[in-house]
A = this chain, B = another copy of it.
Amino acid sequence: MEPVTAGIDLGGTKIQAVVTRGGEVAGSDRMLTPYGGDVQSVIEAVVSTIHASLSSAGSSARDLRAVGIGTPGSIEQETGVVSHAANVPGFGDRVELGQLLYDALDGIPVAVGNDVDVGVLGEHRRGAGRPFHNLLGVWIGTGVGGGIILDGALWHGRGAAGELGHIVVEPDGRLCTCGRRGCLEAYAGRIGMERRARKLVKDGQRTKLFKIMERRGRDRLTSGVYAQALDEGDKLTKRLVDEAAWALGIALASVQNMLDLEAIVVGGGLGDRLGQRFLDRVFAEMAPRLFVRDEPPTMLLSELGDLAGAVGAAVLAGG
């Protein structure tokens, strides 16, 4: 059989795997991230999704050439050590993810990357960003992450580049989960928006958000909850989304004024759900703040959607 590569998007909620063959997605699988709270259960779940994806691609473990995995947190590129992946149950301070997965797979090479970085890499090589050499990927989910492609490669800086969510959009503005004030992420991520919604409700405003949340059996405002509330014409949700677009417009204009990129690709759970209408709102907020007004960057939605991270992880591993 032709050799295949597996790509994994490891999240706090779910594990998404794909298998690629000749640069195309040949199979995939998804499961919930185990809540057991220990690293070993997560590794076992990852291995199990890899095997299920191999089956769905009509391949076997013998065909597997390499594995790439994207995870929240900071990554040491050479060693595959992950730190501060607070969202993944059991990951705590520091996990030797690369080595653990290599051992669990009986010696298959493993490449480890940051989840947003591999998502942006996926979109750049196999998705909406293919025509461009220089682009910014904006991942809007729990928070807001950024990935920068310069001259066709991910820009890491000293290892911590791309913290788009912590660009200051309003000095002394809303409190961010990072403890600072006025960060983009306090306005445009799911958590920041939920905090804002709860505050507005406490101040006496009305919204369908929490009813929709309960009806869907969730305990937090998911991307789907926001999208449905918007569809139902919920005014408070519209306000939250407008505020998010405003903050994104400021941050993206600042990045664009500095880097003069060709394109901006918007993805992530919330980005995907809010879609083109939201992208248009963000552009409308960004455009008047661009220094070079007559040459704005091309604005694109993620093409790979949910699979961007897993596909990018496979790309990272050479697949």
Contacts and interface: CB of A to CB of B under 8 A. Distances in A.
Interface of A: 134, 146, 148, 150, 155-164, 166-171, 178, 180, 246, 250-251, 253-255, 257-262, 288-289, 291-292, 295
A162 B295 CA distance: 15
Given A178-B291, A288-B180, A260 B171 contact: no
Consensus secondary structure, chain A interface: loop
Contact of A161 (B163, B258, B295): B258
B255 A157 contact: no
20 contacts: A150-B155, A157-B259, A157-B260, A158-B260, A158-B261, A159-B260, A160-B260, A161-B258, A161-B259, A161-B260, A162-B258, A162-B260, A163-B260, A166-B257, A168-B254, A170-B171, A178-B291, A180-B288, A254-B254, A258-B258
**This chain: how many copies in the complex?**
2
A280 to B, nearest CB: 20
Given A134-B158, A158-B260, A161-B259, 20 more contacts: A134-B157, A148-B258, A155-B259, A156-B260, A157-B261, A159-B260, A160-B295, A162-B258, A163-B257, A163-B260, A164-B257, A164-B258, A166-B289, A166-B291, A168-B169, A168-B254, A178-B291, A180-B288, A251-B254, A254-B254
